[in-house]
Amino acid sequence: MKQISMVLRALSCAAAAVVIAMFLFDFITVTSAAGQSYGMTGLEMCFGTSQTIGDAAMQTAKSAKYLFALILSLLGLVTAALSYKFKGAGITSAAFQLASGIAFLVYFCNPIHRFADLRPFTYGATDQGLKIASVRFELFFIIALAAAIAGFVFITAAVLIGDKAEALASNGARKTIPQRIGRWFKGIIGEIKKIVWPGKNTVFKNTVVVLTMCLIIGAFIWIVDFGFAKLLGLILGGIDL
pLDDT tens-digit readout, 99-155: 999 999 999 999 888 887 776 666 445 555 567 777 889 999 999 999 999 999 999
pLDDT single digits (tens) 154-207:
999 988 888 787 777 777 667 777 877 888 888 888 888 888 888 889 999 999
* Higher pLDDT among residues 75 and 194, named by residue: 75
Half-sphere exposure at residue 200, Cβ-oriented, CA atoms within 13 angstroms: 0
For residues 142 and 22, give the distance between their C-alpha atoms in angstroms, rounded to a whole number.
9
pTM equals 0.71
Domains, the chain, in order of start with CATH, read 2-193 (1.20.140.150), 201-241 (no CATH)
Phi, psi of 237 (to 5 degrees): 100, 30
Give the angle subtended at the CA of 162 by the CAs of 156 and 168, to the nearest 5°. Answer: 135
For residues 16 and 74, give the distance between their C-alpha atoms in angstroms, rounded to a whole number.
7
The pLDDT confidence band at residue 237, using thresholds 50, 70 and 90, is low
What stretches of 33-166 adopt beta strand conformation (E)?
37-41, 50-53, 56-59, 132-137
pLDDT at 51: 66
Residue 40 zone, left/alpha/beta (φ > 0; ψ -120 to 50; rest): beta
